[in-house]
């Protein structure tokens, strides 16, 4: 359960049935050991696959201006993400924190993030992206 805020919300949503299965229920306090192990292994496998992937997700969240917007988000595993709006005018990066993902606006990288989105959609030739590497601070429990 402590991992939950560190996971990107699209992954956390996909894994929520597994988390629910592991929660203790007052009426049925003990799930069979085999079922707990299978559920835990499924969780760990899904998290491991996400960590080893570069994924494009469509996601809605709020930046500093308190306005909720929809973005295309490129996740580089569990450590960093870059977002851009559909028109390519608002962009930035995200890092995991103990309170969930923190999104920082940085419009000057919009063109490069948009190129990454186009590459993941197979609409442009692959190339190296020049993006800043965000450094997450030490995560406190």
Q: What is the pTM of this model?
A: 0.86
Q: What pLDDT, on a 0 to 100 scale, did the predictor assign at position 141? A: 44
pLDDT in tens, the chain (141 residues): 577 888 999 999 999 998 888 887 667 667 788 888 999 999 999 999 999 999 999 999 988 888 889 999 999 999 999 999 999 999 999 999 888 899 999 999 999 999 999 999 999 999 999 999 887 665 444
Q: Is residue 84 part of a domain?
A: yes
Residue 57's pLDDT is what?
96
Nearest to 132 by CA among 45, 116, 122, 7: 116
The verdict on 41 and 68 lying in the same domain is no
When divided into structural domains, the chain yields a total of: 2
pLDDT number for residue 30: 74
Does residue 19 sit in the same domain as residue 43? yes
The answer to whether residues 46 and 58 belong to one domain is no
Q: Which residue range is the domain that position 27 belongs to?
A: 4-51
Instruction: Give yes or no: residues 59 and 116 share one domain.
Output: yes
Structure confidence at residue 98 (pLDDT): 85
Is residue 47 domain-shared with residue 62, that is, in the same domain?
A: no
- Do 13 and 58 share a domain, yes or no? no
Residue 40 lies in a domain: yes
For residues 13 and 42, membership in a common domain is answered with yes
């Amino acid at each position: 359960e402590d991992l939950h805020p560190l996971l990107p919300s699209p992954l956390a949503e996909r894994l929520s049935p597994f988390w629910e299965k592991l929660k203790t229920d007052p009426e049925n306090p003990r799930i069979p050991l085999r079922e707990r192990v299978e559920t835990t292994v499924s969780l760990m496998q899904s998290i491991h696959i996400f960590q080893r992937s570069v994924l494009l997700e469509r996601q809605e969240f709020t930046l500093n201006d308190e306005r909720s917007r929809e973005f295309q988000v490129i996740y580089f595993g569990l450590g960093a993400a870059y977002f851009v709006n559909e028109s390519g005018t608002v962009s930035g990066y995200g890092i995991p924190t103990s309170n969930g993902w923190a999104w920082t606006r940085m419009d000057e990288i919009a063109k490069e993030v948009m190129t990454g989105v186009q590459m993941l959609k197979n609409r442009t030739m692959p190339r190296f992206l020049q993006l800043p590497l965000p450094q997450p601070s030490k995560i406190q429990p």
